[in-house]
Structure 1
Amino acid sequence: MSSKPFLFHGQTKQWVTQQDDTLVIRLLCHDPEHLITSHFIRCEPDNEDRLIALELIQNDFHLGDDVNSEGDGERGSKLDGDSYRLYQASIPISTHIDNTYYAFKCLTEKGQIWLTAAAQFERIPGRETHFKFNTQDRPPEWIKEQVFYQIFPDRFCQGNADISVKTGEYLYRGGENAIIAKQWGEPVASAGHQSTGASEFYGGDLQGIQNKLGYLQELGISALYLNPIFTSPSNHKYDTTDYLNIDPHFGDNADFAKLSDDIHRRGMKIMLDAVFNHTSCEHPWFGRYQHFKDSAYQHPDSPYRDYYVFLGEPNSKEDYYFAWKGVDNLPKLNFLNEQVQNYIYKAESSVVKHWLKAPYHIDGWRFDVIHMLGEGTNAYNNAHYVRAFRESAKAVNPEAYIVGEHFYEATQWLQGDQEDGAMNYYGFAHPVRAFFAGLDIAYHRVEIDAQAFDNWLTESRAKIPWLNQLAQLNQLDSHDTSRFINQLNGDLNRLKAASMMLFSYPGTPCLYYGTEVALQGGNDPDNRRCFPWGDLDKNSDIFTFYQRLINLRKSRIELQQGCYHTLYAQDKSFVFARFEQGKTSIYAINLGQKSVSFTFERFELMTNAQYFSGFDNHSEDWHLEAQQQLSFTLPAECALLLASEEG
């Protein structure tokens, strides 16, 4: 039986290296039947096809080895028929576009084999699947080393009860919803934008966050992502009334400067939420319910009228304004207006720049519904503004992290020149939800096997440059979804298994607050329950599980930035490897009802491998053997994370 050639290109700096105006690119080939007669790399430096021959530089290369660009002195020597061979070529960088595209072409006596970021093909594949290397714009170096923790401020911790919202303190939505102050831990309201969910307050604030920085460091967290903290009448703060001041019920600007300073003194990072697609209808510019001077809603001749999009004649029955998804308390900003541009991102005093400067020095922005932002109604000229946000932030801090919120595919924003990364719903959260919980984004039933799961993940990775893959913000859940533990019907083992993948997969992991104690919650706003500080047990199995998992991620370079390779994807079992600088980690999951045995060749450096799992009762079943191969058996409904011995 003929064995098909195995081709691999890792995309990390060991596999693709920029040298002036060229890229040095390497390819691993295992061809036991000697089917391949020639190896080429295809590129388009000036939009014209070019084939460049690859040269053999190293024989007997192992998949997890450190790439030796100088070769091993065995060029042209007699090769073992089962040898793994490393090839290399230099290609010119594309200068007319930021991304250099390339793919590998291997000739056989009967045809050809193409390797791209998506798969192996028997014919030339579409350009969208080709490997991509952006020579101009790259994410910050520090991102891939982080473990983020998302905080919904009103529900995390109360530090100063004196500034908390009081029942009936002010009118919200013109008095349509009552302002209610609740006791910490009381149940939240029912779901829906018209419910009282947005007007219920529990008293979480900035001082509360600062009080718990020690706890977060003990857990292992290195970076915080805060939901909006600017002045707003709601508890979620996605309806801003003042972008330059902290909401007084959270604290003030001095409190935030103090918090940010404390975070940075601890070696941590902080990212804030930017809501620039729309404001609150109670913003002084708009003034739907309040008679602010010259407010756009109350005064048709207002200088702020063009800050928004009004349709129809002023004071007529047809006079109305464009709002986010038709939610009338969220009028959409019009970025065609130059004053809006200056205020949000263009001027030196703009919001984007203000919080990146002293005394706050935030490390990044997460942009809410950034794909909807633009001129007039809808998202006209969107790419221009996203790119402008990036340039504005990077002008203050070149290492600022730029993240976009996209519930669906974000490929067009992730080519390097717009966003560093996205909240990776399409490329991580959606497929993980489908595979582990059998649900899609609309909570409809869906069932995919491991092969479909792998195909989904591979497709989404292949569409963007590798460094942007590493900068994706990966989450199991967030303030906009039900808690993952609820999607799993309370199955802690599956939560652990999915979390192990979160911390093993390419991208930057982010825990939604309370996950480390298995905090539950249904759809918005039930997913925003108070953190149960009164019940916290840092010796509990679930807390120590996350503590160990986070520590493993932070201590393993291959989990932070290593190459990715799927080893097995069939039925309900899925295995992949990450490797970098001679270190290897392997993640394996078996969601089936029977045990599955695995054998992987050429993994001798996994000898004395350390294992990590939340399923310690099964450790006697793993039977690790690692010499010329790695073998182990994974019981039903079990996950495993193997890490090669440090050395």
Structure 2
Amino acid sequence: MRQNTSSQRASLPFQCFHTCTAPGVDASNAELFVRGVNHSRLKIWIVSFSQNEDVKNPMTYSGSYSGIHRFVAPLNADKSRNLITYYFKIMLSNKDGEPVDVVWYSSLGMSREPPLRQHCYVIELFNTHPQWAMDSVIYQIYPDKFAASSGNFTVDGTKVNTESPVRLKDFEFVNLDETHCGGDLDGVATMLPYIRGLGCDTIYLTPIFKAPSVHKYDTEDYDVVDTHFGGNGALKRLRTVALGYEMKILLHGTFNHTGDSNLWFDRQEKTGKGALRHKDSPYREIYTFNSEGEAYVSDDKANYPKLDYSSYLTRHLIYEGENSVVKKWTRAPYGIDGWVIDDANQIGDNGNARNNVERLSAICSSARESHLDCLMLGHFGTDPRYALCSEGNVDGTINYTGFISPIRSFFGGINLNGDPTPYTGEDLRRTCEEFAVGVSQQLKLCLVNQLDNNSLPRFYDIIGGDKHLYQAALACLVTWRGIPCIYQGDELGDVIAKYEVGPRSMIPFKALKDHHASVNSAETQTVITELTALRRSNPAFSRGTMIFISAGGAYFAYMRLYKDRFSIVLVNASRQQVKFEQGSILFPLLASMYMPEDCGSDNAEDSGEDLLIPLSGRNVRRYDHAEGLEGLYEMLGREKLAVYSYGATRTSKEFEEKFIKELIAGKNMTIPPRSTVIVSNLKK
């Protein structure tokens, strides 16, 4: 009989917690923690997949502590796949042992039916991603406007001093987006000590190959670094300097299309052999043409003819050949450390995205043949999970869906298209959680998070130039799951608004290097340096799982967990302090950190059965006061904790003592206005 949705059993008398990685879980065993009901009333199975069939194995009760019960089971992996996919089935019995309720538990919480496979937990049997990547902090560079080896930019023959910010009004009759300003790779090399000083150990260059435009997305020759940037020799020199500072280099690869000036296409008829005007051209098969002889293009831009990967010649030139684009630049003497693949979702056959996953995977495999430890990232215009969840494909992506879009909407109220988007903390939590569902934990750590990049309006501008919110957002960026990426000029602070510094504006690199662009800029540089140092001091930030613990109108909070290290991050974007009941929001932390391995049986009565958890399993009702967790909060109080605050409230000894006292009391938590508070346990 169909169960009415208004059934009195709409809620369940227990709460579950599972994560793929905390504390330090390997791919051989799974642990599920349960509280709110006696363990004797539970029967739990872990359901995994073998040859695309679900296989159910019972979990074993292994002990209780302070009302928390632990169940364990081996993960029976399908040896033909690296990705292990699984969920849990939970049966609740009455005191007489008769089944009274059955639910399923997955990444989306509890449900009344088995979850869809894309909603399951996912872990990789072997971590195939570069280990250096998840520990890195990236600095993205738009070379023409970043730094010039001459010491000055040059605009229409006029030298531009970079010892102070550049005023746009001085160039009101010049389109700087179409004017080369003298930034080059040797200039980038001179700035590496500064970038390293910020705490960034990887640079990511937007396109640098020969092209007629300033932005270089219309590649004319993949074998040549544009002469405006110093040619191939400049990249060699940059590589040498970067090695001295133990820094990595990522390049942006426009492998979906070329420019129409590329000699393969040759709209300008420089060779008389271009594919556009000569049907007998040796390069004709590289592109796709319709019956009228018009080439298929990317992004509706006539000067972006789309490459056709059904052609052997295209594959040979781009990634299969020994001297192909992908392999050439990953080998010595250039030895770059990875690619960001432009328009990754569009790459395919016959003028469209047919066989997209196969082609992306082949590009990645080719790069790894030349450089085993290279990082392969995708730049996707749509949901990238179809590729991320494909074995042997990209290691990660520029994280628009899971960070950039929701974080800009939350702090600035404007989405990526510039539309007004009032966004609550709950909206952000929902968006980010749903994006993470079905993606392996190891891959989540390779997603690249940004506040800004070369194609978006400055984050500082969309938040109305609020210096405090800016620092609060920077703290989110560096503590979020994935790889933080600073875009050039992010550290300018109030200079961005005062001097109208856009995403492709000239950067006052000498002023940055000397920390005197402005007082607020120097403070922002200090904040970034502190945050990157904090990130490296606690592996929970770079390798741990991420769990949202609270969210509301203008605030949200999450925790990071890894082995015996953790951090709690609380964000408040409003102008008033936010106070909320802790309840059992720290249940995941307390269960995974303080439940001893040798804990015994807990045969107490079911005192927790008045703890009703909504079926989603995500949020705890307000009358859940975390009864039974007092002992665990006491153990939390024995930790050596450090508290940091960025925004309107800055770190102080008084604030730290007050916050820690409130935290270990287990009752209320307070987030000061326009601030991000970070509490981390220190290494024992």
TM-score relative to the length of structure 1: 0.87
Change (3 A) 1:583 1:561: same
Q: Which amino acid aligns with 1:464?
A: V
Q: Which amino acid aligns with 1:10?
A: T
Equivalent residues in 2 for 1:297-446 (5 A)?
Answer: 297-312=276-291, 318-415=292-389, 416-446=391-421
Q: 1:54 aligns with which of 55, 59, 77?
A: 59
Candidates 224, 228, 232, aligned match of 1:245: 224
8 Å CA contact retained: 2:444, 2:481 = yes
For residues 169 and 126 of structure 2, the distance between their equivalents in structure 1, rounded to whole angstroms, comes to: 47
Distance 2:504 2:36 in 1: 54
Give the one of 291, 297, 304 matched to 2:270.
291
Rounded to whole Å, the distance in 2 between the matches of 1:347 and 1:136 is 29
After superposition, residues 518-537 of structure 1 pair within 5 angstroms as 518=493, 520=496, 526-536=502-512, 537=515
Matches of 1:404 and 1:451, distance apart in 2: 28
Shift of 1:577: 0.8
Distance 1:505 1:296, change over 3 A: same
- 8 Å contact from structure 1 (residues 189, 197) kept in 2: no
Is the CA contact 2:103–2:113 (under 8 Å) kept in the aligned structure 1?
A: yes
Once the 2 structures are TM-superposed, how far is the Cα of residue 35 of structure 1 from its aligned partner? 8.5
Q: 1:509 to 1:322 in 2, by over 3 A?
A: same
User: Could you say if the C-alpha distance between residues 105 and 533 of structure 1 is closer, same or farther in structure 2, counting changes exceeding 3 Å?
Assistant: same
- Alpha-carbon distance in structure 2 between the residues aligned to 1:452 and 1:279: 39
User: Would the alpha carbon gap of residues 450 and 33 (structure 1) be closer, same or farther in structure 2, given more than 3 Å must change?
Assistant: farther
- The answer on 1:450 being equivalent to 2:425 is yes
| Structural mapping, 1:50-89, within 5 Å | 50-60=55-65, 82-89=66-73
**2:674 counterpart of 1:633:** no
Native 8 Å contact 1:586 1:643 kept in 2: yes
Query: 2:21 maps to what in 1?
Result: 12
Q: Structure 1: state its 5+ residue gaps.
A: 61-81, 169-179, 313-317
CA contact (8 A) 1:226 1:272 kept: yes
- SS state at 1:263 partner: helix
Q: After superposition, what is the alpha-carbon deviation per residue over 1:320-363, rounded to whole angstroms, capped at 9, x for unaligned?
A: 22211221111111112211110100011111011111111111
Q: Provide Cα deviations, 1:577-630, integer angstroms capped at 9, x if missing partner.
A: 112121111100122343223435645436442111223646556542154637
Q: 1:594 aligns with which of 535, 556, 576?
A: 576
Q: Is 1:581 aligned to 2:555, yes or no?
A: no
2:133 counterpart residue number: 143
Q: Relative to structure 1, is the Cα distance of residues 346 and 117 closer, same or farther in structure 2, using a 3 angstrom cutoff?
A: same
Alignment partner of 1:99 is 2:83 = yes
Inter-partner Cα distance in structure 1 for 2:643 and 2:414: 30
Distance (whole Å) between structure 1 residues aligned to residue 104 and residue 177 of structure 2? 53
Contact 1:222 1:267 in 2 (8 A): yes
- 2:119 is aligned to 129
- 1:75 maps to which residue? none
SS in 2 for 1:43: strand
Deviations 1:251-271 (A, max 9, x none): 122221121122122221111
Q: Which amino acid aligns with 1:394?
A: R
1:638 Cα deviation (Å)? 2.3
Distance 1:36 1:386, change over 3 A: farther
Cα distance in 2 for partners of 1:138, 1:13 equals 19
Counterpart position of 1:78: none
Partner letter of residue 415 of structure 2? D
**C-alpha displacement at 1:112, in angstroms?**
2.5
C-alpha deviation, 1:393, in angstroms:
0.9
Q: Higher RCO, 1 or 2 (CA under 8 Å, sep at least 6)?
A: 2
Whole-Å separation in 2 of the counterparts to 1:208 and 1:420: 30
Contact persistence 2:648–2:673 (CA under 8 A): no
Match of 1:477? 452
> What is the Cα deviation at residue 305 of structure 1?
1.8
Partner of 1:485, secondary structure, is helix
Report how far residue 528 of structure 1 moved.
1.0
Q: Contact 2:22 / 2:544 at 8 angstroms: preserved in 1? A: no
Supply the AA of the counterpart residue of 2:539: I
- Alpha-carbon contact 1:188-1:197 (below 8 Å) kept: no
CA distance in 1, matches of 2:422, 2:190: 43
Checking the alignment, whether the CA contact within 8 Å between 2:472 and 2:647 is kept in structure 1 is no
Partner residue, 1:236: 215
CA contact (8 A) 1:161 1:203 kept: no
What per-residue deviation string (whole Å, max 9, x for no partner) do you get for residues 24-80 of structure 1?
2122222356585112111121322222111233533xxxxxxxxxxxxxxxxxxxx
Contact 1:159 1:207 in 2 (8 A): yes
* 1:507 to 2:460 alignment: no
Say which is worse superposed, 406-415 or 300-309, in terms of deviation.
300-309
Q: CA RMSD in A?
A: 2.8
Distance 2:169 2:240 in 1: 33
